[in-house]
Amino acid sequence: MSVTNWAGNVVFGARALHRPTTVSEVQELVARGGPLRVLGSGHSFNRMADTGGDLLTVADLPRLAEISADRASVRIDGGVRYGELAVLLEKEGLALHNLASLPHISVAGAVATATHGSGVRNGNLATAVSRIEFVDGTGEQVTLSRGDAGFEGAVVHLGALGVVTSLTLDVRPAFEVRQYVYDQLRRTEIDAHLDEILAGGYSVSLFTDWTSDDVNHVWLKRLETMSGDWFGARPADGPRHPVPGMPATNSTEQGGVPGPWHLRLPHFRMEFTPSAGQELQSEWHVARENGLEALHAVAEIRDRVAPVLQVSEIRTVAADELWLSPNYRRDTLAVHFTWIADTDAVLPVVDLVEAALAPLDPRPHWGKIFTTDPLALRSRYERFADFQALVRRYDPAGTFRNSWQEAILG
Ligand SMILES: Cc1cc2nc3c(=O)[nH]c(=O)nc-3n(C[C@H](O)[C@H](O)[C@H](O)COP(=O)(O)OP(=O)(O)OC[C@H]3O[C@@H](n4cnc5c(N)ncnc54)[C@H](O)[C@@H]3O)c2cc1C
DSSP 230-291: BTTBEEPSS---SSTTS-GGGBPP-TT--EEGGGTSSSB-TTS--S-SS-EEEEEEEEGGGH
Q: Which of 55, 113, 316 to mutate to test the pocket of ligand 1 (most atoms within 8 A of CB)?
A: 113
- Count the alpha carbons within 13 Å of 316 in the hemisphere toward its beta carbon: 26
Taking alpha carbons only, the member of 122, 134, 142 closest to residue 61 is 134
Give percent above pLDDT 70 in the chain.
100
Would you give the distance in Å from CA 354 to the centre of its chain?
19
CA of 110 to the centre of ligand 1 (A): 4
Ligand 1, residue 41: give the atom nearest the CA: 26
Q: Which residues line ligand 1 (CB under 6 A)?
A: 6, 37-44, 48-49, 58, 78, 100-102, 105-106, 108-110, 112-113, 115-116, 158-159, 163-164, 274-275, 365, 367
User: Of all residues in the chain, what percent are helix, strand and coil, respectively (each to 5)?
Assistant: 30, 25, 45
Distance, in Å, from the CA atom of 402 to the CA atom of 410, rounded to the nearest integer, reads: 11
Q: Measuring from atom 27 of ligand 1, which residue has the nearest CA? A: 109
pLDDT at residue 3, rounded to an integer: 87
Distance, in Å, from the CA atom of 149 to the CA atom of 19, rounded to the nearest integer, reads: 31
CA of 81 to the centre of ligand 1 (A): 11
Strand partners, 55: 17, 37
Distance, in Å, from the CA atom of 317 to the CA atom of 294, rounded to the nearest integer, reads: 15
Ligand 1, residue 48: give the atom nearest the CA: 49
Average pLDDT, the chain: 96
Categorize the per-residue pLDDT at 2 as very low, low, confident or very high, splitting at 50, 70 and 90: low
Q: Is the dihedral of CA 114, 117, 118, 120 positive or negative?
A: negative
pLDDT at residue 249, rounded to an integer: 87
Q: Which of 3, 43, 127, 399 to mutate to test the pocket of ligand 1 (most atoms within 8 A of CB)?
A: 43
CA of 13 to the centre of ligand 1 (A): 18
Distance, in Å, from the CA atom of 100 to the CA atom of 87, rounded to the nearest integer, reads: 15
CA of 108 to the centre of ligand 1 (A): 8
CA of 194 to the centre of ligand 1 (A): 29
pLDDT at residue 1, rounded to an integer: 55
In tens, the pLDDT along 221-275 reads 999 999 999 999 999 999 998 888 888 888 999 999 999 999 999 998 887 778 7
CA of 224 to the centre of ligand 1 (A): 31
CA of 342 to the centre of ligand 1 (A): 21
Q: Which of 19, 38, 279, 283 to mutate to test the pocket of ligand 1 (most atoms within 8 A of CB)?
A: 38
CA of 113 to the centre of ligand 1 (A): 6
How many other C-beta atoms lie within 10 A of the C-beta of residue 256?
A: 16
Q: Which of 39, 142, 164, 399 to mutate to test the pocket of ligand 1 (most atoms within 8 A of CB)?
A: 39
Phi-psi region of 314 (alpha: psi -120 to 50; beta: other; left: phi over 0): beta
Expressed in angstroms, the distance from the first to the final Cα of the chain is 29
In tens, the pLDDT along 283-318 reads 999 999 999 999 999 999 999 999 999 999 999 999
Contacts of 228 (CB under 8 A, 6+ apart): 235
pLDDT at residue 268, rounded to an integer: 87
Contacts of 83 (CB under 8 A, 6+ apart): 103, 104, 262, 270
Distance, in Å, from the CA atom of 125 to the CA atom of 116, rounded to the nearest integer, reads: 5
CA of 156 to the centre of ligand 1 (A): 11
In tens, the pLDDT along 362-405 reads 999 999 999 999 999 999 999 999 999 999 999 999 999 999 99
- Flag whether pLDDT at 276 surpasses 80: no
- Flag whether pLDDT at 162 surpasses 80: yes
Ligand 1, residue 274: give the atom nearest the CA: 1
How many other C-beta atoms lie within 10 A of the C-beta of residue 174?
A: 17
CA of 50 to the centre of ligand 1 (A): 13
Distance, in Å, from the CA atom of 326 to the CA atom of 115, rounded to the nearest integer, reads: 10
CA of 106 to the centre of ligand 1 (A): 7
Longest Cα–Cα distance of the chain, Å, equals 63
Q: Which of 4, 12, 41, 44 to mutate to test the pocket of ligand 1 (most atoms within 8 A of CB)?
A: 44
